[in-house]
With several copies, the nearest count.
Chain A
Amino acid sequence: MHKDAAISKPGPDISVNLGGLWMKNPVAAASGTFGYGFEYQDYIDSASIGAVIVKGTTLEKRVGNPPPRICETAAGMLNAIGLENPGVEVFVTEYLPRLRQHGVTVVANIAGNTVEDYEHTAAIIDKQSGVAAIELNISCPNVKQGGLQFGTDPAMVEAVVAAVKARTSLPVIPKLSPNVTDIVTIARAAQRGGADALAMINTLLGMAIDIKTRRPVLGNVFGGLSGPAIKPVALRMIYQVYREVDLPILGGGGIVNTADALEFIMAGATAVSIGTGLFVNPTLPAELSLGIKQYLTEHGLDKIGDLVGAAHRF
C-alpha cells in the first residue's frame, strides 16, 4: 500500500476521538502483538492503522522470561513474554524516529514496577514528538506493595494514573486488568486519577500443563490468556464500565473479524484493538475498518459514534 494512494472513498465517518487520541479509523494494533510496527511491514502498512500501540516499554531494558513463552489453548493462547524490551531510551532514539517519519499514529505502552518507573518513562516519552498517546499497562507487580498488581487495587490505579498524568500532556489511557472482582471500581479509580480513556481488557491470567513432562508448559508457569476464548469476558466488562463510567473505551480481547468488532462497539467501545487476531490474519486491521464502514453504510449510519453503546439502548 503506497501512502500517496491512500485516498479514502467517501462514506460513513469511521475516524474517532479516543479521549484526545485522534484515530483515522477505529482499529488499533494491541501492544505486544505488533512489535514496533515494522515487523509486519511486508503484510500491512502501519500508517494505515488507526493506532499502533507499540510493545510495552520499561525504563530499563528487560530480557524477558525464559521459554517456552507461548502456548496455544482452545480458541486462545497463553503468553508470558515478560515484557522483553530494549528500554525507553532505545525506543525513543531508535524506533520512534522511524515510526514518526513513516506517519504512524503511535501509542506508547509503558510498564513498571514502581510509580516512579511509570513517571520517569512517561516523562521521557512526553518530550518526544511522534507519540499520540500513552497507554499504561497496569498488569504489573508493584514491588513496593509486596508484588500486588497495580491493576488490582483501586488506590494504586488512581495513584499511578495521576502520577503519569502529572508528567505528560499526552492523553493517558490505562489498560485495565480483567483479573479483578469488580472492574467498575477499578475504572472509576482510573477516572479519578485523570484517565482520558480506558483500554480494556488485558489478558486473563491462566496456565497450561504438559502432561508428558508433568510440568507447567510456560517457563514462567503463569501466562496471559488472549484470543477468542476471552471475548465474552471482555465484552461483559466493557458493557459494565460503559454503563457506569463516562470515559471513552478502547475495547479488545479476542477480536478476529468484523462481527466481533461490532459487538465491542455496541457494548460501548469507541475504538477496538486487535492482538492475537493479527497473528492469525495480519491484514485484519484493514479488513475491520472496511467491514465497519460497510456495516455503517448498509445500515444508513453516518458515523461510527452512532453505534457506540447501541446494546445499551433497548
Chain B
Amino acid sequence: MPAVEKALVAAHQEVAQGLYEIEVLAPQIASGARPGQFVHVRPGGTSDPLLRRPLSLYDVDQELGSITLLYKVVGRGTELLSRVKSREYIDMMGPLGRGFTLPQTGQSILLIGGGVGIAPLIYLARVLKAQDCTVQAAYGAASLQDAAVYQRKFQQLGIEAWPATMDGSLGYQGTVVGLLHQMAPAIKIDMIYTCGPEGMMKAVTDYAQSHQIPGEVSLEETMACGVGACLGCARKLKPEDADYAKVCKDGPVFSMDLMA
C-alpha cells in the first residue's frame, strides 16, 4: 500500500567499499511492492540535500514487512544515508513506479545487471523463482569485492549467475556485454530483464531485439516528486517519439519495444 513511512532501520552495513545494504521495517510500503518498483528516501532532515532519493527495491519480505535496499555512495544524499544507524528511522515513500512485467510461469529468464543496477534484479529473481521460472543472471561488477556481494546474493536465491569483471578477478574478463554475447547463444532465453548503465542497457536491448527476445529495461532519471506530478523525469524513449515518457510513473521499467 503506497505510503510515507518512518521506517525503522533493522540492519545497515557496508557490504563492499562504498556499497551499503540497509534493511528497514516499512510494512505498508512492503505490502504489495513489486519487483522493479522503487522507494523515495529522504536523506537527512534539513533543507540541504532537499529532495528525496530514488532507490530500487533490492529485496522485500512481505511477511515481515521489511524492505532491503542496496546503494552506492555517490554524493551527499547517499553519504548522509550511509550514516544512519540501526534503530534509527528513515523517511521513506513508496512503492513507486511501474515494476517489471512478470512472465508466464516456467519460462527461461536471463537477468543482466551492471553495478548497483543489479539491485532490482535481485527482488525480481526471487519472485521469478517463486513462479517456477528458470532464472540465470549475468552481471558486471566494478570490483571483486562488489562481485562477491552480488554472487553471494544470487547464490542464496539459488540462481546460476555469471560475473564479469574488467580485471578478470572473478568470472569473465571484460564487460557484461561481452559476456552476454559469449554465453547467451548457448542458453534458452524467453525474456531478458536488464538494469545498469545506459550504454550497457542499450547494448543489451540491441542484442535482444536482434534475436527477437522480448525484454525490459529499468531506467534512471533525476527525480523530484516520484509520482508523475512534476514532469521532471522526462525521457524521450525513441528519437522519433513526440512525447516524453516520465521515468517515475511510466517506468522506471519499460519494454524494450518502446526503446530505440
Direct contact between the two chains A and B in their complex (CB within 8 A): yes
Residues in A lying within 8 Å of B, measured CB to CB? 32-35, 39-40, 42-43, 55, 63-72, 74-77, 79, 81, 84, 227-229, 256, 276, 278-283
Question: Once the chains bind, are B234 and A43 in contact (CB under 8 Å)?
Answer: no
Inter-chain contact B244/A84, CB cutoff 8 Å:
yes
Known: A39-B225, A77-B51, A280-B50. A69 touches B4 (CB 8 A): no
Q: Are A79 and B229 in contact (CB under 8 A)?
A: no
State A74–B76 Cα separation when bound (angstroms): 11
Task: Knowing that A64-B231, A81-B234 touch, tell me 8 more A-B residue pairs with CB under 8 angstroms.
Answer: A32-B231, A39-B228, A63-B243, A69-B232, A81-B230, A84-B231, A227-B50, A279-B52
The answer to whether B50 and A79 touch across the interface, beta carbons within 8 angstroms, is: no
Number of interface residues of B (CB under 8 A): 32
Which residue of B is nearest A36, CB measured? B229
| A34 and B232 form a contact (CB under 8 A) | no
Chain B interface, >50% SS class? loop
> B232 and A42: CB pair below 8 A?
no
CB within 8 Å for A43 and B4 given contacts A68-B222, A79-B224: yes
Q: Which residues on B are within 8 Å of A, measured CB to CB?
A: 1-4, 42, 47-52, 93, 221-236, 242-244, 249
B227 contact set on A, CB distance < 8 A: 35, 39-40, 42-43, 282
Whether A43 contacts B93 by the Cβ 8 Å rule is: yes
Please give me the 7 A-B residue pairs with the lowest Cβ-Cβ distance, nearest first: A42-B2, A35-B229, A70-B232, A39-B229, A75-B47, A228-B47, A74-B47
| Tally of contacts, chain A with chain B, CB under 8 A | 107
B47 pairs with A69, CB closer than 8 A:
no
- The 8 Å CB contact of A81, one of B221, B232, B242, B243, is B232
Report which of A63, A280, A283 forms a contact with B51, defined as CB distance below 8 A: A280
The residues of A that contact B1 with a CB separation of less than 8 Å are 42
Chain B residues with CB under 8 Å of A283's CB are: 4
Q: Which of A67, A68, A71, A276 has the most CB of B within 10 A?
A: A67
Most B-side CB within 10 Å, residue of A35, A70, A278, A283:
A70
A256 touches B47 (CB 8 A): yes
Contact of A67 with B244 in the complex, beta carbons under 8 Å: yes
**In chain B, what residue has the closest Cβ to A283?**
B4
B50 touches A77 (CB 8 A): yes
Chain A contacts of B42 at CB under 8 A?
280
Least Cβ distance of A268 to chain B in Å? 23
CB distance from A13 to the nearest CB of B (A): 29
